[in-house]
């Protein structure tokens, strides 16, 4: 059912910069709906990481940044740290489905 596609995994060395893509369509990201990103560690609930395409909630390091263009969005992590090993999900609204949708998820390995 997922209409947002993410790479299954991304790996990087400590200190490196990685990006995670989130590809949608004309009924979600391409329709102008914002993208949000969540970070999830094993066994715990997802935590909001980026909202409204580019905004970081209080307490989220500025190593994390988001962008959106057309039907795609990206999450970038600079200065990768071991503690960034987690699953990352994008989320938006889809007008065709008339509901909220999550990406397929990306596992980040440091």
Partner 1 sequence: QVTLKESGPTLVRPTQTLTLTCTFSGFSLTTRGVGVGWIRQAPGKAPEWLALIYWDNDKRYNPFLKDRLTIAKDTSKNQVVLTMTNLDLVDTATYFCARRSVVVGATDWFDPWGQGILVTVSS
List residues near partner 1 by CB under 8 A: 1-2, 33-36, 38, 44-48, 51-52, 57, 89, 91-93, 97-105
Measured from the CB atom, is 16 or 55 closer to partner 1? 55
Instruction: Tell how far CA 110 is from the center of its chain.
Output: 17
Measured from the CB atom, is 1 or 13 closer to partner 1? 1
Residue 46 CB, shortest distance to partner 1, in Å, is 6
Residue 51 CB, shortest distance to partner 1, in Å, is 5
Residue 56 CB, shortest distance to partner 1, in Å, is 12
Q: Is 5 exposed, middle or buried (0-12, 13-18, 19+ CB in 10 A)?
A: middle
CB atoms within 10 A of CB 89: 22
Contact 74, 22 (CB under 8 A): yes
């Amino acid at each position: 059912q997922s209409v947002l596609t993410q790479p299954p995994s991304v790996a990087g060395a400590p200190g490196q910069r990685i990006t995670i893509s989130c590809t949608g369509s004309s009924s979600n990201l391409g329709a102008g709906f914002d993208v949000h990103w969540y970070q999830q560690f094993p066994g715990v609930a997802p935590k909001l990481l980026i909202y409204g395409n580019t905004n970081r909630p209080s307490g989220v390091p500025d190593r994390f940044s988001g962008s959106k263009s057309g039907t795609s969005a990206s999450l970038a992590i600079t200065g990768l740290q071991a503690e960034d090993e987690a699953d990352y999900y994008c989320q938006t609204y889809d007008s065709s489905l008339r509901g909220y949708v999550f990406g397929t998820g990306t596992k980040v390995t440091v």
